Amino acid sequence: MARMSPIAIELVRTPPEAATAMGVGVFADRLDDGDAPDGVDPAFLAAQGFKGKPGQTCVVPGEDGGLIVALGLGPEADVAVATYRKAAAALARAASRCPHLAVDLFDTVPERLARRDVAQALAEGILLGAYRYTALKSDPERSHLESLAVVGTGGAKVRAALERGQAVAEAVCLARDLVNQPGGSLTPTAFATRAEEVGALRHFGVEVLDRNAIEAEKLGGLLGVNRGSEEEPRFVRLSWAPERARGTVALVGKGITFDSGGLSLKTTEGMVGMKGDMAGAAAVLATFSALDAVRPPVRVLGYLPLTDNMPGGDATRVGDVLRIRNGTTVEVLNTDAEGRLVLADGLSLASEDEPDAIVDLATLTGACMVALGTRVAGVMGNHEGFVDAVRAAADTAGEAVWPLPLPADMRRQIDSDVADIKNVAGARWGGALIAGLFLQEFVADGIPWAHLDIAGPAEASEDDPEARKGGTGFGVRTLLELLAGFRKPAKAGAAS
């Protein structure tokens, strides 16, 4: 299929002449023993301070005028698929001025790793490492990368894995672009239009509900959050199905295109980065963009509530009560806890479609960042087996998630005096769990559900080999991995 990025990735037996920079893998412990790949002088590497650490690179001038790039892989015993993703990303950055790259490191892949997985990781790493958000720069510093030749044998399976890696990485980059686009230009209507364009290109269904349709569908959470805004809300439904589906998975993404806090206004510092409060919705749309290439054996449905959260003259007041799609009434005691209000409508609609499982992704709470830092997402849910499946998928995909509990005895902290439930607890302790307990109210009984709080990892505060400062596209790889290996979770088995 036609790819969005112009970068060609090929499997070749010998490095092509055009390769201007060739990445070779170097194990840290072999280097200590004075051993290095052909054409690379270990003394030169040592003089450059290269120790073979994962993600470390060292450019070595080759004999024929080309470049060799030594790629650190760490100690041989520790090498994992993720090591190769990181090494490829580091290569893309070290050789960003070279249009044609090659990597020759299949020889370093230990028996215990599947070459297919390494091939996928190499393709992902190259594209993720080359990513830049340049749309708004007058004089952008572009990546010159045009092609990557992967040296090795392996045939159709390895080739397919390279293609899959490319599709996955392009999806991640789409999510990054959406997160990086300012809130004043990526409005809810613009996001919905983008979804329609991507759907047409990548062959999945897109249905856009405008304000009237949202009112007709009684999405009171979305309407309540939108009330202070001049921008209309949208609700986007996505759908994709293979010929024979093993089940149905629903994906719900928080789509706050800018979060000012509403009347519970944030500080300026608190608003920086809040153009990225639609990272959950971006991850879901981006995941759909790769389904036609990855072809998981399940039907996939997507639900994206889109609005900004603004403090306009008729904004939802503190103390107002909203009625969510499923009939639950919610007292809004803090308009900055808006994500859970729009997700409540999304989870209600998803539940009505009776999927075999639901996953939601949301930049939901600062509290989750206090608990787990900026690089690890929190995962919560109502079904231990399904939460474990999400954790396993994240592990394989190389994204960090860690479980948090949903203690039943904390639920009474969101009992309301006037409505069925309130949107914040009185105390601030355990804010990520309170948000999770709130969301759980809108998941129909018996549907396995996992909630990913991606407030930390959705945006990076500094460059690293695989991601630039800004949107990371977190969640896309995990979702694609989860869908590809999906099995219906066993009935019952409630968690915590």
| Closest to 275 in 3D by CA, of 237, 234, 310 | 310
Q: Is 266 a catalytic residue?
A: yes
Which of 120, 326, 365, 382 forms a contact with ligand BES (CB under 6 A)? 365
- Exposure pattern of 365-377 as b/e (b: 16+ CB <10 Å)? bebbbebbeeebb
Which of 339, 398, 430, 475 forms a contact with ligand BES (CB under 6 A)? 339
Which of 170, 308, 338, 345 forms a contact with ligand BES (CB under 6 A)? 338
Of 289 and 316, which has the nearer Cβ to Zn ion? 316
Q: Which of 246, 266, 391, 411 is flagged as catalytic?
A: 266
In the complex, least distance from residue 112 CB atom to Mn ion, rounded to whole angstroms = 45
Asked whether 19 and 155 are in contact (CB, 8 A), the reply is no
The interface with Mn ion within residues 259-318 (CB under 5 A) comprises: 259
The interface with ligand BES within residues 439-458 (CB under 6 A) comprises: 455
Which of 163, 170, 231, 259 forms a contact with Zn ion (CB under 5 A)? 259
Nearest residue to ligand BES, scored by beta-carbon proximity: 366
Sequence-distant (≥ 6) Cβ neighbours of residue 392 within 8 angstroms? none
Question: Applying CB under 5 A, what is the total number of residues that bind Zn ion?
Answer: 4
Q: How many CB atoms lie within 10 A of CB 395?
A: 14
The CA distances from residue 23 to 71, 80, 203, 302, 466, in Å, are 6, 17, 36, 39, 16
Per CB under 6 A, does 337 bind ligand BES? yes
Binding region for Zn ion (CB under 5 A) out of 5-13, 166-174, 258-266, 321-329: 258-266
Of 124 and 338, which has the nearer Cβ to Zn ion? 338
The DSSP letter of residue 490 is P
171 binds, among Mn ion, Zn ion, ligand BES, none (CB under 5 to 8 A by kind): none
C-alpha to C-alpha distance for 176 and 44, rounded to whole angstroms: 37
Binding region for Zn ion (CB under 5 A) out of 26-34, 271-279, 397-405, 484-492: 271-279
The interface with ligand BES within residues 36-55 (CB under 6 A) comprises: none
The interface with Mn ion within residues 233-262 (CB under 5 A) comprises: 259
Which of 277, 331, 345, 356 forms a contact with ligand BES (CB under 6 A)? 277
The amino acid sitting at 249 is V
Element (H, E) at 377: strand 377-381
Of 248 and 413, which has the nearer Cβ to ligand BES? 413
Which of 134, 193, 334, 416 forms a contact with ligand BES (CB under 6 A)? 334
In the complex, least distance from residue 357 CB atom to ligand BES, rounded to whole angstroms = 25
Binding region for Zn ion (CB under 5 A) out of 116-124, 180-188, 248-256, 420-428: 248-256
Binding region for ligand BES (CB under 6 A) out of 26-34, 323-331, 332-340, 349-357: 332-340
In the complex, least distance from residue 434 CB atom to ligand BES, rounded to whole angstroms = 7
- Would you state the structure tokens that stand for residue 198, as one six-digit string? 């991507």
Residue holding tokens 């992967």? 150
C-alpha to C-alpha distance for 360 and 255, rounded to whole angstroms: 11
Of 72 and 431, which has the nearer Cβ to ligand BES? 431
| Closest to 43 in 3D by CA, of 51, 30, 34, 54 | 34
What stretches of 203-284 adopt beta strand conformation (E)?
Answer: 205-209, 234-240, 248-253, 255-259
| Closest to 444 in 3D by CA, of 496, 488, 383, 362 | 383
Alpha-helix runs per DSSP H in 61-114: 81-94
Which of 75, 242, 312, 366 forms a contact with ligand BES (CB under 6 A)? 366
In the complex, least distance from residue 235 CB atom to Mn ion, rounded to whole angstroms = 19
Which of 117, 124, 163, 277 forms a contact with Zn ion (CB under 5 A)? 277
Q: Hey, what long-range contacts does 30-39 have (CB within 8 A, 24 or more apart)? A: 30/76, 36/70, 37/70, 39/63, 39/68
Of 114 and 265, which has the nearer Cβ to Mn ion? 265
The interface with Mn ion within residues 156-195 (CB under 5 A) comprises: none
Question: Applying CB under 6 A, what is the total number of residues that bind ligand BES?
Answer: 15
Per CB under 6 A, does 336 bind ligand BES? yes
Half-sphere exposure in the Cβ direction for 88 (13 Å, CA): 32
Q: Is 218 a catalytic residue?
A: no
Asked whether 391 and 401 are in contact (CB, 8 A), the reply is yes
C-alpha to C-alpha distance for 239 and 236, rounded to whole angstroms: 10
**Burial (0-12, 13-18, 19+ Cβ within 10 Å), 471:** buried
Nearest residue to Zn ion, scored by beta-carbon proximity: 259
Q: Which of 340, 422, 468, 477 is flagged as catalytic?
A: 340
End-to-end CA distance of the chain: 44
Which of 177, 231, 308, 336 forms a contact with Mn ion (CB under 5 A)? 336
| Closest to 299 in 3D by CA, of 464, 488, 459, 16 | 488
Backbone CA torsion sign across 104, 84, 363, 202: positive
The amino acid sitting at 17 is E
The CA distances from residue 152 to 1, 55, 85, 102, in Å, are 23, 21, 17, 11
The interface with Zn ion within residues 302-341 (CB under 5 A) comprises: 339
In the complex, least distance from residue 38 CB atom to ligand BES, rounded to whole angstroms = 48
Of 334 and 396, which has the nearer Cβ to ligand BES? 334
Binding site for ligand BES (CB under 6 A): 259, 277, 334, 336-339, 363-367, 424, 431, 455
Binding site for Mn ion (CB under 5 A): 259, 336, 338
Binding site for Zn ion (CB under 5 A): 256, 259, 277, 339
* Residues with active-site annotation: 266, 340
